[in-house]
C-alpha cells in the first residue's frame, strides 16, 4: 500500500477570456474555474532520496518532462528537503483535453511532499511552487471555485460563484483528437487584436457570475472556441446537433478539446451519450461529474 494517495481533480473553465499578450510572452486571461469530482490518483511512497515516476499510461513521459517530477524538483529547491519519493500515477483524465490533468497531478505531488516532509512549505511558498510549475497550477491549491487572472497565477477564491456551481453535474465529452495548448495560443495571437476581449465587459461578466440569476450555460464563454472550431469542425457540428436535438449547450473547457454541458433532472443523458458515441465513435471519452465541493458551502 502507498504511504498516501492524492486525488487529482479535473477542472472546467465555464468562462475563459483572453484580454491581451504580455511583455513576457504570456497572455493575460480571466477565467471562472471549478474543480470536478473526476480525476487522476497519485500514489506516493516516501524514500531516502531521489524522485521516480511510473504510470499506467505508457505514452506519458516519466522524467523531468512530466509535471509531477518537475513539481517535486521545485519542492526540493524551495524547501531544502532531503527526502525523496516514488510516485505512481493512475491516469483517468485524457491528455490534450483542457481539463488540467497534468497541472492537477503536479499540485498533488506538491501536497503529498509537503505532507510527508512535515509541512516544510507554508501557503505562500506552496503558491510560488505551483506557479513555477505551470500557469494553471495554483488554482488546484484551492478547494472551491476561483477566478483566475494574469497568466493564471493570480487566483481569487469566489464563494458566490462556488455556491452557484457546487454540486452541479456536468457531462464531459472528449473526442479522439486533442488540442495543443501552445498552438491554440499562437493562433489566438495571430488574430490579435480581434481575438482578445476588452477588460470592461469581462469584469462585468465576472459580476454576473457572482450575482446574476441567469442560467450557467448563458454565462459561458471561451475565447478559444473559434480557434478550435475552425480546425476541428466536429466540435461546432456537435454543438449544433446537441442544441437542435436536445436543447443543451455544449461548451469547451480550456483550449480543448474536451467539452461539457450542464445537467439537470430533465437532461436526457443516455440519449445524449448515445448521440455523441454515434457521431464521434465509441472511443470518445465520456464522464459524468460534479463540481466541487459537492455540497454548497455555508
Residues 6+ apart with CB under 8 A from 213: none
**Bridge pairing between strands 4-21 and 221-222:** parallel
Rounded Cα–Cα distance for residues 255 and 83 (Å):
36
180 half-sphere exposure, CB direction, 13 A CA radius: 5
56 is catalytic: no
Cell 458515441: give the residue. 277
Whether residue 10 contacts residue 35, with contact meaning beta carbons closer than 8 Å, is answered with yes
Q: Which of 11, 91, 105, 174 is flagged as catalytic?
A: 11
C-beta neighbour count of 35 within 10 angstroms: 26
Full DSSP string of the chain: --SEEEEEEEEEEEEEEEEEE-TTS-EEEEEEEEEEEEEEEEEEEEESS-EEEEES-TTS--STTSHHHHHHHHHHHHH----EEEEEEE--SPSSSSS-HHHHHHHHHHHHHHHHTTS-S-HHHHHHHHHHH-TTSGGGG-SS-EEEETTTTEEEE-HHHHHHHTT-EEEEEE-S----HHHHHHHHHHTTTTTSPPHHHHHHHHHHHHH--S-HHHH-EETTHHHHHHH-THHHHHHHHHHHHH----EE-TTSS-EEEE--TT--HHHHHHHHHHHH-TTSEEEEEEBSSSS---
The reply to whether 11 belongs to the active site is yes
Catalytic residue among 40, 91, 136, 174: 136
Q: Which residues are catalytic?
A: 11, 136
Amino acid at each position: 500500500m502507498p504511504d498516501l494517495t492524492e486525488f487529482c481533480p479535473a477542472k472546467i473553465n465555464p468562462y475563459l477570456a483572453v484580454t491581451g499578450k504580455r511583455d513576457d510572452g504570456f497572455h493575460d486571461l480571466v477565467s471562472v474555474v471549478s474543480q470536478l469530482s473526476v480525476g487522476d490518483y497519485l500514489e506516493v511512497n516516501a524514500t531516502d532520496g531521489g524522485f521516480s515516476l511510473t504510470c499506467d499510461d505508457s505514452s506519458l513521459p516519466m522524467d523531468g518532462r512530466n509535471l509531477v517530477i518537475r513539481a517535486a524538483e521545485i519542492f526540493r529547491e524551495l524547501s531544502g528537503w532531503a527526502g525523496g519519493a516514488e510516485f505512481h500515477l493512475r491516469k483517468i483524465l485524457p491528455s490534450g483535453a483542457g481539463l488540467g490533468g497534468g497541472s492537477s497531478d503536479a499540485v498533488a505531488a506538491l501536497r503529498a511532499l509537503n505532507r510527508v516532509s512535515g509541512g516544510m512549505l507554508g501557503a505562500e511558498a506552496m503558491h510560488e511552487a505551483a506557479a513555477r510549475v505551470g500557469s494553471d497550477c495554483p488554482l488546484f491549491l484551492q478547494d472551491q471555485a476561483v477566478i483566475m487572472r494574469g497568466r493564471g497565477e493570480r487566483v481569487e477564491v469566489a464563494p458566490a460563484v462556488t455556491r452557484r456551481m457546487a454540486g452541479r453535474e456536468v457531462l464531459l465529452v472528449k473526442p479522439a483528437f486533442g488540442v495543443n495548448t501552445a498552438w491554440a495560443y499562437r493562433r489566438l495571437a495571430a488574430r490579435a487584436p480581434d481575438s482578445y476581449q476588452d477588460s470592461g465587459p469581462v469584469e462585468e461578466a465576472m459580476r454576473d457570475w457572482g450575482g446574476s440569476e441567469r442560467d450557467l450555460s448563458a454565462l459561458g464563454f471561451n475565447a478559444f472556441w473559434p480557434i478550435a472550431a475552425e480546425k476541428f469542425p466536429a466540435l461546432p457540428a456537435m454543438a449544433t446537433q446537441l442544441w437542435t436535438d436536445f436543447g443543451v449547450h455544449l461548451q469547451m473547457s480550456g483550449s480543448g478539446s474536451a467539452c461539457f454541458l450542464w445537467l439537470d433532472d430533465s437532461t436526457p443523458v443516455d440519449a445524449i451519450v448515445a448521440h455523441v458515441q454515434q457521431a464521434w465513435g465509441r472511443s470518445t471519452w465520456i464522464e459524468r461529474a460534479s463540481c466541487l465541493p459537492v455540497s454548497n458551502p455555508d
